[in-house]
A and B are shown apart, each in its own frame.
Chain A
Amino acid sequence: EAGVTQFPSHSVIEKGQTVTLRCDPISGHDNLYWYRRVMGKEIKFLLHFVKESKQDESGMPNNRFLAERTGGTYSTLKVQPAELEDSGVYFCASSPRTSGYTEQFFGPGTRLTVL
């Protein structure tokens, strides 16, 4: 069975441009999470979807970030406009629909570089 996939693997854009990251979770996983590691910092939680609904978006840094999960399958994370401090690695993870404390399966990440 395929794991979590993310596209693109790398993205280099200029400040002020827009970038959209995509995550395809493991089939059948209702829970989808976004995390990111910016330069020199720890991996931090961004938000959590249960199917198409945002369960927790407390980690979203500001309104330049928009996450969607239409239809409860794949998810996109759009950054508009991108700033230099957005550079880092963006991870997506998914887990089955259970009551909590569930193993999360991570994708390989998208490395975003904003010049």
Chain B
Amino acid sequence: LAKTTQPISMDSYEGQEVNITCSHNNIATNDYITWYQQFPSQGPRFIIQGYKTKVTNEVASLFIPADRKSSTLSLPRVSLSDTAVYYCLRINAGNMLTFGGGTRLMVKP
């Protein structure tokens, strides 16, 4: 199965906006894109999910262009507590999640 591709790591500073882009060139028509966050010694936690265009919730925005070959997670005004691994995932109609390598985000003071 085709996996998603994203940067291995990113650094940012408190108060900045962080954008993490994910590539999924061969995404299936019935797949959605979902993002999860994981802290050390914890399981992944759902952030946001979308199919196309823009989705926004209280913690993030997700931009998926019309061709759906990529997506961008936007975290506004990050804080130190946002330091974590962020996974861009495909989810199919059977609710199976396909994990990639994740992006390790480090937020500095």
Contacts and interface: CB of A to CB of B under 8 A. Distances in A.
Given A42-B100, A42-B101, A104 B95 contact: yes
Contacts of B93: 100-101
| B: interface residue count bin | 20 to 34
Interface string B44-55: 111001000000
| A: interface residue count bin | 20 to 34
Contacts of A105: 46
Contact of B94 (A4, A55, A91, A109): A55
A31 interface: yes
Interface string B68-109: 000000000000000000010001111111111110000000
Interface of A: 4, 31, 33, 35, 42-45, 48, 55-56, 91, 93, 95, 100-109
